[in-house]
Structure 1
Amino acid sequence: MQRSRLGAIALSSAALLGAALASPALAATESEIPSFQEFHASSFKDSDQQYIVNGDEPVSTTGDLRAYYDRMVGGSEKAMEEGLVVNTVGGVDDKWSTAQVGNLTYCVSDKFGARKADIVNAMNSGAGLWEAASSRINFVYVPSQDASCTTRNNSVLFSVEPVQTSQYIARAFFPSSPKRSRNVLVDDSIWTSGSWTPSNILGHELGHTLGFRHEHTRPEAGTCFEDNNWRPLTPYDSASIMHYPQCNGSSANLSMTNTDRQGAAALYGA
């Protein structure tokens, strides 16, 4: 989740390649598109030494970053087929199995200190948004693993950890992400994000962990295009919890919509 003070990437702004949100509606010319070497040199790495693209999505290796670059530079707009969209990998939906989605275990690091209880509560509320949409979705907090809450902990599916960065408020992962990327990282700015409540911000990030993409990658948004690796689950929803408000979104607070709930039920069952 990008910081709300930043603006939006233009649909055709391949020069920025979705790595950070910049000023709205600026078209890129061919000469403005960086080489991969230039893009690689300017790409942000977080504390886990992973590249961050599309504002809050990790890319593990230089090879994966190159694949992302190639998709962005060579990609074209995807035609509307059916506001929730699911990530795809090799044309296949990026989702959890029926058994796994009912047991999405996580820990919350003790390193949150005095704010730990607040994070626990915000995670519970954010998870509840998706659990209410599909009875098959179940996030399970395992407090006994909090003392060793990192991606190396194999007793939980993912970890929730603090981070200090000026690049994002929080970031997450997709079901297809390797174990070393399966964490939700949260910056202290989550407490000062105005109308974006911590529960809704973490609800947005947990949407990614379920496989849902940013809604604004769809052509209807007219800006902030990311790539074509997604499949529509519902009609476009500018108010979706997965739609950045600064990317022509119509919701100021990242609240969940009925369309979001319909999309979750379409992917995982009601």
Structure 2
Amino acid sequence: MSRSLARTAAAVAGTTLAVSSAFAATAAAAPTSDGAVPTYQELQASTFRDLDGQYLVNGDEPAATNGALRQFYDAMVAEPDTMNEGLIVNTVQGKDDKWTASQALNLTYCVSTKFGADYSRVVSAMAAGAGQWEAATTKVNFVYVPAQDGACTTRNSSILFSVEPTKTTQYIARAFFPSSPKSSRNVLVNATSLYNSGSWTPSNILAHELGHTLGFRHEHTRPEAGTCFEDNNWRPLTPYDSASIMHYPQCNGSSSDLSMTASDRAGVRALYGS
């Protein structure tokens, strides 16, 4: 994500939102010029693909395969429900998408030395972003493993996920969910954008992305936001929070700096324990 973050999905039957603070160019089942919802083939052809070939949807979430993109499309064109509560957790086949209690206490990661001159700053921003979730509950612990930084890729079995650089200007950063396969478990960061995002600090940006790695969805997919609907695969944890760190400001969010709120802290405790 970034202060000049490009575009994001508006709603299943809405238009693609073009704003100065969007998190990324992303797939959206926006209508065609004649008002019709695009076909899956049209969506597939227009969706940005990351450096590792994954499709990017909902701003900063990867869809690893054609099948995953199809599931995203089917959810987008389905009728939305009326659920109206939650800092929300992703669900897979009706079950919470979260780490086991033991794994949540050992979320190991490395930071690639390929960040070059930005390496130390990204290390610091990751620590600060992780610390925001860790301060909310003793049941979550991100563990930085610097010994693996020289081989920091998704192929490294010594860490749970990698933090790697990307040169794309399509987004500032993107992450993954706990249910993602090991080959998709990386946080990709455009370091230049990370440190040129106005009131959005590097710590808050990476805390947002780490929220996804814990299983949290974008708050604005809920009906109260009135826009940027994504899908119905989520479960509520707390009352709606327009200022949530997981809520895009351009999707009728009320925060200008992407800060973590008391509701966010209550949400992580509701999912993982206090």
- TM-score, normalised relative to structure 1: 0.92
The answer to whether residue 140 in structure 2 is matched with residue 142 in structure 1 is no
**Relative to structure 1, is the Cα distance of residues 5 and 173 closer, same or farther in structure 2, using a 3 angstrom cutoff?**
closer
Is the Cα contact below 8 Å between 2:26 and 2:48 reproduced in 1?
Answer: no
What residue number does 1:79 align with? Answer: 83
* Amino acid in the other structure paired with 1:10: A
SS in 1 for 2:143: strand
Give me the whole-angstrom Cα distance separating, in 2, the residues matched to 1:95 and 1:177: 11
Tell me the CA shift for residue 74 of structure 1.
Answer: 1.9
Cα deviations across residues 76-102 of structure 1 (Å, max 9, x unaligned)? 23322x351000000000000000000
**Relative to structure 1, is the Cα distance of residues 48 and 240 closer, same or farther in structure 2, using a 3 angstrom cutoff?**
same
The answer to whether residue 117 in structure 2 is matched with residue 114 in structure 1 is yes
The one of 149, 157, 160 equivalent to 1:157 is: 160
The within-5 A match list for 1:34-183 is 34-80=38-84, 82=85, 84-183=87-186
What residue number does 2:20 align with? Answer: none
Q: Name which of structure 1's ranges 101-110 and 29-38 shifts more when overlaid on structure 2.
A: 29-38
Q: Which 5+ residue runs of structure 2 have no aligned equivalent? A: 18-22
Is the Cα contact below 8 Å between 1:3 and 1:167 reproduced in 2?
Answer: no
* Amino acid in the other structure paired with 2:177: F
The answer to whether residue 254 in structure 2 is matched with residue 250 in structure 1 is yes
Output the aligned Cα RMSD.
2.2
Tell me the CA shift for residue 68 of structure 1.
Answer: 0.9
* Amino acid in the other structure paired with 1:70: D
What residue number does 1:213 align with? Answer: 217
Tell me the CA shift for residue 166 of structure 1.
Answer: 1.7
Give me the whole-angstrom Cα distance separating, in 2, the residues matched to 1:267 and 1:121: 26
The answer to whether residue 221 in structure 2 is matched with residue 186 in structure 1 is no
What residue number does 2:234 align with? Answer: 230
* Amino acid in the other structure paired with 1:257: T
SS in 1 for 2:171: coil
Q: Sequence identity, in percent?
A: 66
Q: Name which of structure 1's ranges 3-12 and 251-260 shifts more when overlaid on structure 2.
A: 3-12
**Relative to structure 1, is the Cα distance of residues 261 and 29 closer, same or farther in structure 2, using a 3 angstrom cutoff?**
farther
What residue number does 2:200 align with? Answer: 196
Tell me the CA shift for residue 64 of structure 1.
Answer: 1.0
- TM-score, normalised relative to structure 2: 0.91
Q: Which 5+ residue runs of structure 1 have no aligned equivalent? A: none
What residue number does 1:13 align with? Answer: 13
Cα deviations across residues 181-233 of structure 1 (Å, max 9, x unaligned)? 00000012111111111000000000000000000000000011100000010
Is the Cα contact below 8 Å between 2:3 and 2:198 reproduced in 1?
Answer: no
**Relative to structure 1, is the Cα distance of residues 142 and 70 closer, same or farther in structure 2, using a 3 angstrom cutoff?**
same
* Amino acid in the other structure paired with 2:226: G
Q: How many residues align?
A: 266
Give me the whole-angstrom Cα distance separating, in 2, the residues matched to 1:258 and 1:160: 27
Is the Cα contact below 8 Å between 1:2 and 1:21 reproduced in 2?
Answer: no
Cα deviations across residues 124-179 of structure 1 (Å, max 9, x unaligned)? 00000000111010000000000000000000000000001121110000000000
* Amino acid in the other structure paired with 1:34: P
Cα deviations across residues 55-87 of structure 1 (Å, max 9, x unaligned)? 00000101111111111112323322x351000
